[in-house]
Structure 1
Amino acid sequence: MLHKTLVYRDAQIAYYFAENKEKETILLLHPAFADHEIFEAQTESFMEDYQVIAVDMPGHGDSQIKGRNVTLKDMPAILHQIMSDHEISALHIVGVSMGSLVAQAFADRYPERVKSVTMVGGYSIHKANEQILKAQKKEGLKWLGYMLFSMKKFRDHVISVSCYTDRCRTVFRRGIGKFHRKSFSVMSGMNSFFRKQDTPVRYPLLIIVGQQDQQMIREAANTIHKLEKGSQLAVLPAAGHCANLDAPEEFNRLVKDFLLDQ
């Protein structure tokens, strides 16, 4: 994949692009603290049949940000600009954890630009998210405590709750190694993603969750599947939070089969 750079408000946003203009496009959005490498098994597989984009979000991977001019709240606009630069009218999005929140926020703001969303280890930005948001705030305080005293302990903790396999732990460790104390400033503004909406989402939705993920995340997946009547739910037995990297072969098959039906 080619390393590309988008300049957005004087910040350099790195993304990786496998061009194939004759094919549909898949956009890959990583979880918090990781980077595009978390999708190494997907890019290799999806490139055969799709044009693929993997973005390093602000403060992550190669998208290191100085100051507070650009944060995660800007991701929908950043993605829209990348699509415009490459003349992509609409695409499929695969988002893991935080990446799934960004995917939903983008689809909410630019519904005509989204063909489908695959949510991995995530929850809804529109409904039935009160309990998980409370739990996320508690987890955030734990992150802060680790971060203040030891970035190593912070990284070890995040990896332990994100991965079930050694392969996942190895790849995640590379990505989180690029996330520093100063990077936390980019995490602000995501509250703007959340908008209550009782009606079903307008895009085809595939929900994937690892059986080894936290119970709270598994319950969130079941809840959104029940509320989004047209959605599909898949549980991967040998996978944790980053199911795409814990069980890549099964994950890739599920996503490809889902996209073929769209």
Structure 2
Amino acid sequence: MKMEQILVHQDGKQFAFHISGKGQPLLCIHAPCIGSINFVYQQTLADTYQIIVPDLPGHGDSSPTETPFSIGELAEQLHKLVRSLGIERPFILGYSQGVSIALEYCLRYSDAVKGAILVSGFSEVNDLYLHGRFWMAQAMSMLHGVPLLARSIASSHVADLEMREKWTVQASKTDPTSLKYLYAAGHRYHCTERLGNIQLPILLAYGKQDQRMHHYAQMLTMKLPKAKLEMIPNVKHQVITKAAPAFNQLCRTFMEEG
């Protein structure tokens, strides 16, 4: 299904939204250095749902940012932009660091959210492996390493060579300064002690082979009152691309029940 791009202007900045389908809205929040193409394999859901995928600041066709920001400020910005499009009570789908933004969105605007699908994510960074990944990514973004990051991320997510090249092209558009600020915001974000306040249905999805993230999965399962955990076999972190058919079916079932 063809995606329509909508450009929203706020405070002198341009924000790009990609919208397809009709029905219950699903707001998708991508991981750093990818952009809206992150959810290309979820476009099959547009036969029943309205898929809304923003480009975060400095990604895709959204304007870069010159000053540091917090995950809370990103959640506030997205909420204002979603409301400006006339979209009410979406489900929220967050992937990897996008989960942090989705969690903060749910904490701040629970009355405006129907439920959340959180994939391969975390509510804080509390192990050496993930700290190391953030330090490396922040260093690369400061050292003009966006093209290398873009190609590495595309290769890890997509097997099809033509689609991999499309991912690389879009990810390479990422503004290095905005990316550095996004990684820094995600690295310092911490909302674990507030998770009990989210009284919304939550679907947690993790790759069964993504063992380094499993303690985050267990922590979120324990702390979120209405969470259901699904471990998807034969996949690591890249659930939304490498296990797309199984994951998309989980999304359908969850949203139908919600």
- Normalising by the smaller structure, the TM-score range is 0.7 to 0.9
Is 2:205 the partner of 1:208?
Answer: yes
Distance 1:87 1:154 in 2: 35
User: What SS does structure 2 have at the residue aligned with 1:166?
Assistant: coil
Quote how far apart the aligned CAs of 1:255 are. Answer: 0.5
For 2:179, give the aligned amino acid.
F
Distance 1:91 1:70 in 2: 24
- Alpha-carbon contact 2:71-2:100 (below 8 Å) kept: no
CA gap 1:170/1:240 in 2 versus in 1, 3 angstroms: farther
Quote how far apart the aligned CAs of 1:256 are. Answer: 0.3
Please tell me the root mean square deviation across aligned C-alpha atoms, in Å. 2.7
- Alpha-carbon contact 1:59-1:186 (below 8 Å) kept: no
CA gap 1:9/1:223 in 2 versus in 1, 3 angstroms: same
In the other structure, the counterpart of 1:17 is: 19
Distance 2:33 2:195 in 1: 31
- Alpha-carbon contact 2:205-2:232 (below 8 Å) kept: yes
Instruction: Map 1:44-193 to 2 at 5 A.
Output: 45-68=44-67, 73-124=72-123, 129=124, 131-132=126-127, 135-147=129-141, 148=143, 150-159=145-154, 163=157, 165-167=158-160, 170=165, 172-187=167-182, 188-190=184-186, 191=188
User: What SS does structure 2 have at the residue aligned with 1:197?
Assistant: helix
For 2:81, give the aligned amino acid.
I
Is 2:233 the partner of 1:237?
Answer: yes
Quote how far apart the aligned CAs of 1:138 are. Answer: 2.5
CA gap 1:39/1:181 in 2 versus in 1, 3 angstroms: same
CA gap 1:222/1:169 in 2 versus in 1, 3 angstroms: farther
Quote how far apart the aligned CAs of 1:131 are. Answer: 1.9
Deviations for 1:158-216, whole angstroms, at most 9, x for unmatched residues?
456x53x5148555433321224333354254546636226352110100011233x22
Distance 2:195 2:119 in 1: 21
Quote how far apart the aligned CAs of 1:222 are. Answer: 2.4
User: What SS does structure 2 have at the residue aligned with 1:31?
Assistant: coil
- 5+ residue gaps, structure 2, are none
Distance 2:154 2:36 in 1: 16
- Alpha-carbon contact 2:125-2:131 (below 8 Å) kept: no
Distance 1:144 1:86 in 2: 32
- 5+ residue gaps, structure 1, are none
Distance 2:166 2:200 in 1: 31
TM-score by length of 1: 0.83
- Alpha-carbon contact 1:57-1:72 (below 8 Å) kept: no
Distance 1:67 1:47 in 2: 34
Quote how far apart the aligned CAs of 1:260 are. Answer: 0.9
Distance 2:224 2:255 in 1: 18
For 2:252, give the aligned amino acid.
K
Quote how far apart the aligned CAs of 1:235 are. Answer: 1.6
In the other structure, the counterpart of 2:30 is: 30
CA gap 1:71/1:27 in 2 versus in 1, 3 angstroms: same
Deviations for 1:141-171, whole angstroms, at most 9, x for unmatched residues?
22244442744444455456x53x5148555
Task: Give the count of matched residue pairs.
Answer: 251
Deviations for 1:226-249, whole angstroms, at most 9, x for unmatched residues?
333431111222323221111111
- Alpha-carbon contact 1:238-1:246 (below 8 Å) kept: no
- Alpha-carbon contact 1:95-1:119 (below 8 Å) kept: yes
